[in-house]
A and B are shown apart, each in its own frame.
Chain A
Amino acid sequence: MAAIETRDLTRRFGETVAVDGVSLTVDQGEAFGFLGPNGAGKSTTISVLLGFLRPTAGEARVLGRDAVDASAAVRSRVGLLPEGYEPYANLTGREHVRSAVRTKGTDDDPDAVLDRVGLDPADARRPAGDYSKGMQQRLFLGIALVGSPDLLILDEPSSGLDPTGVGLLRELVAEEVDRGATVFFSSHDLDEVERVCDRVGIMRGGELVAVNAVEDLRSELGMGSVVEATLAEPPASVPLADVDGVSDYETDGRVVRVQCTEPPAKMRALAALDAVAVVQDVGLEEPSLETVFEQYTGGADEGAEAVDPRDEPTESAAGASAESAATGGE
């Protein structure tokens, strides 16, 4: 049974398509990064998974249950850190957690939960309306953890967190995955996703344009690693043209930069160079997830030209307006 499974999930707001035929499977026990620029349809998808919105077409199942018909049953096994929320201004952080414990019918100690997310005991007893954004994020992260949920849905969880908080978030995600929980991590904080997630899905203009491990996404786009070899002296010739997996190379004095499309090509290229010269130093450049992300999404929220591996170009801006319609209120 998958933790999350959507089939041709579509959500329209009038003429605008916010989520367009998304089919996605997130396995139990994995940390899955859900990436996309603002307005790509991430939050709309999450709202459907939680039963806040109904799909226009298609199906969404969470932990084996229908996300719409069995919403409360689903939520009893899900921990949610939402986006665009406010706590009850006059309730303390501790009271929020205590109510979550009561509602979920668990025996968590609210103080232990708040300690785990690094909320100071004195702050935990202050009205949550006085909290900074970072403190609110910690509080809601704690609420999400109540009851050791099978699935954690974290919507932009590092938003507002300081570097310490981001580090703590990373640790918590790792702990939860070790426990056996599934973590669905929606973000445009690419570094964070790359650090904590096994696989990522990239949304653009309401469509899921890529799902894979980060390394595989790089390969898919032909964005393999760059090996930089420093030789003892400038080479008379560079025998790399026929090496499998080497797409390009350039020589600058003693330095040879080799573009590799697959991991084994790195060693093959180095072996070829070592056969004709003394390799004194080796450097390696991996394209960041950000580079991959930009290739898939056009690199901006404004709908710039984008690479689409499925050759179905869509405008990111359409998705942006779609989600604005979904979340913009009245």
Chain B
Amino acid sequence: MGVGTVFRDDLRNARRSKIVVGVVGVFTLLSTLIFVSEINIFDDAVRSLFDLTALVAFLFPLFVASLTYLAVAGDRARGSIKYVLGLPNERWEYALGKYLSRGVVAVTAVLGATLVGFVVGEVAFTNGADPERFLTFGLVSSLYALSLTGVFVGLSAMTASRSRAMFAAIGAFFVLVPFWNNLLPVLQVGTVIDFAETLFGITVSEETRLTIAGLSPSTAYLSATAPVFEGAGDQYEVVRAVIGGDTGSLADELWFNLLVLVGWGGGVPLVGYLRFRRAELG
């Protein structure tokens, strides 16, 4: 009863929010731009879907963060939480209701982008959109969206103010995306492993390095989308380079990728709830 009411209220509140509609709208627009701008560059819609994958993997977390970082912390800062928890809701019902509603918003955003891509791909590309590949992409991306939502809502549940929630979200984005994907010089997970090797006098095998690299939700998501492009995007060098061959590490296994996504999506909210359960709300 409590979860459903919290979920409905939060979703309704979000749906009517100009900011939420704006964030989802901008993401959909960017996704549309990818497909529209590549109509005359590539023959295959699946090639543009590959570029959408990059957008989802690297930039979508920022969109999800903006949609979710105040889920709990904002209510605490504003005092709206006194409305919900002044009623006979348990704290877990409140936290779960928030997670689900924000998850629905994030999944809606990524599925909307996928749908727009499918329509543009089907209508305007020489080799149109393959429903099965787009559906697979949509499902994996939805899981990624839920995983990210869990991370940011979980962090929000650990913080009591807007500023701390914002710093936590930015920090999580930096670690899970640029840092873990080696997008920045020096500040990379690989550098940390190098440092650990020097410090402890150990050698980390390439396979272990790849497995560690695959532990971020963004890297796991990228690997998990590989089946979408198998046999379809192989003629494109960049696609081959990213989905790559079998390196023998766990990071290449689909089950491992999905487990990583589920782990982040379940683990951080659990820790967040355990903190929130005993949080001082006065």
Contact across chains for B90 and A143 when beta carbons are under 8 A apart: no
Residues of A within 8 A of B17 (CB): 89-90
User: Does chain A have a CB within 8 A of B66?
Assistant: no
Residues of B within 8 A of A143 (CB): 83, 86-87
Residues of A within 8 A of B240 (CB): none
Select which of B83, B86, B161, B278 is within 8 A of A330 by beta carbon.
B161
Complex CA gap A104/B83 in Å reads 13
User: Which of A75-83, A174-182, A258-266, A269-277 forms part of the interface with chain B?
Assistant: A75-83
Residues of B within 8 A of A99 (CB): 5, 8-9, 87
Write out, one digit per residue, whether chain A residues 48-88 have a CB within 8 A of any chain B CB (1) or not (0). 10101110000000000000000011011000101011111
Complex CA gap A20/B96 in Å reads 35
User: Does chain A have a CB within 8 A of B187?
Assistant: no
Of all chain A residues, which has the CB nearest B278? A54
Write out, one digit per residue, whether chain A residues 77-109 have a CB within 8 A of any chain B CB (1) or not (0). 000101011111111000110011011110000
The residue among B80, B88, B89, B280 with the most chain A CB atoms within 10 A of its own CB is: B88
User: Does chain A have a CB within 8 A of B164?
Assistant: yes
User: Does chain B have a CB within 8 A of A44?
Assistant: yes
- Would you list which residues of chain B between 260 and 282 have a CB under 8 Å from chain A? 278, 280-282
Complex CA gap A36/B4 in Å reads 39
Contact across chains for B88 and A75 when beta carbons are under 8 A apart: yes
Residues of B within 8 A of A48 (CB): 282
User: Does chain B have a CB within 8 A of A119?
Assistant: no
User: Does chain B have a CB within 8 A of A247?
Assistant: no
User: Does chain B have a CB within 8 A of A245?
Assistant: no
Of all chain A residues, which has the CB nearest B93? A72
Contact across chains for B88 and A72 when beta carbons are under 8 A apart: yes
Residues of A within 8 A of B87 (CB): 75, 99-100, 103-104, 143
Residues of B within 8 A of A73 (CB): 88
Complex CA gap A102/B93 in Å reads 14
Distance in Å from the Cβ of B218 to the closest Cβ of chain A? Answer: 29
User: Does chain A have a CB within 8 A of B30?
Assistant: no
Select which of A95, A100, A326 is within 8 A of B12 by beta carbon.
A95
Residues of B within 8 A of A86 (CB): 78-80
Contact across chains for A52 and B281 when beta carbons are under 8 A apart: yes
Distance in Å from the Cβ of B157 to the closest Cβ of chain A? Answer: 15
Complex CA gap A112/B15 in Å reads 27
Residues of A within 8 A of B160 (CB): 329-330
Residues of B within 8 A of A105 (CB): 1
Select which of B9, B89, B281 is within 8 A of A91 by beta carbon.
B9
Residues of A within 8 A of B281 (CB): 47, 52-53
Q: Given A88-B13, A105-B1, A44 and B77 touching (CB < 8 A)?
A: no
Contact across chains for A330 and B82 when beta carbons are under 8 A apart: no
Distance in Å from the Cβ of B4 to the closest Cβ of chain A? Answer: 8
The contact size tier of chain B is 20 to 34
Contact across chains for A52 and B85 when beta carbons are under 8 A apart: yes
User: Does chain B have a CB within 8 A of A185?
Assistant: no
User: Does chain A have a CB within 8 A of B163?
Assistant: yes
- Would you list which residues of chain B between 1 and 51 have a CB under 8 Å from chain A? 1-2, 4-5, 8-10, 12-17
Contact across chains for B79 and A82 when beta carbons are under 8 A apart: yes
Residues of A within 8 A of B282 (CB): 43-44, 47-48, 52-53, 326-327
Contact across chains for A329 and B161 when beta carbons are under 8 A apart: yes
User: Does chain B have a CB within 8 A of A140?
Assistant: yes
Residues of A within 8 A of B8 (CB): 99
Contact across chains for A85 and B80 when beta carbons are under 8 A apart: yes
Q: Given A103-B1, A103-B89, A329-B161, A80 and B12 touching (CB < 8 A)?
A: no
- Would you list which residues of chain B between 82 and 114 have a CB under 8 Å from chain A? 82-83, 85-90
Q: Given A99-B9, A103-B89, A88 and B83 touching (CB < 8 A)?
A: yes
Complex CA gap A105/B17 in Å reads 28
Contact across chains for A87 and B5 when beta carbons are under 8 A apart: no
Q: Given A52-B281, A53-B280, A80 and B9 touching (CB < 8 A)?
A: no
User: Does chain B have a CB within 8 A of A134?
Assistant: no
Residues of B within 8 A of A89 (CB): 13, 17
Contact across chains for A50 and B86 when beta carbons are under 8 A apart: yes
Write out, one digit per residue, whether chain B residues 160-204 have a CB within 8 A of any chain A CB (1) or not (0). 110110000000000000000000000000000000000000000
Complex CA gap A81/B160 in Å reads 22
Complex CA gap A136/B193 in Å reads 55
Distance in Å from the Cβ of A263 to the closest Cβ of chain B? Answer: 41
Complex CA gap A315/B14 in Å reads 46
Complex CA gap A99/B84 in Å reads 9
User: Does chain B have a CB within 8 A of A127?
Assistant: yes
Of all chain A residues, which has the CB nearest B76? A329
Residues of B within 8 A of A53 (CB): 280-282
Select which of B16, B83, B164, B280 is within 8 A of A85 by beta carbon.
B83
Residues of B within 8 A of A91 (CB): 9, 12-13, 16
Residues of B within 8 A of A102 (CB): 1, 4-5
Complex CA gap A76/B1 in Å reads 13
Give 10 closest A-B pairs by Cβ, nearest first.
A330-B161, A47-B282, A90-B16, A76-B88, A80-B86, A85-B79, A52-B281, A82-B82, A53-B282, A86-B78
8 examples of A-B residue contacts, CB within 8 angstroms: A52-B85, A53-B281, A72-B89, A91-B9, A91-B12, A103-B87, A140-B83, A330-B161
* Further pairs besides A52-B82, A85-B80, A329-B160: 16, Cβ < 8 Å: A52-B281, A52-B282, A53-B281, A53-B282, A72-B88, A72-B89, A86-B79, A88-B9, A90-B12, A90-B17, A91-B12, A99-B5, A102-B5, A103-B89, A104-B88, A330-B163
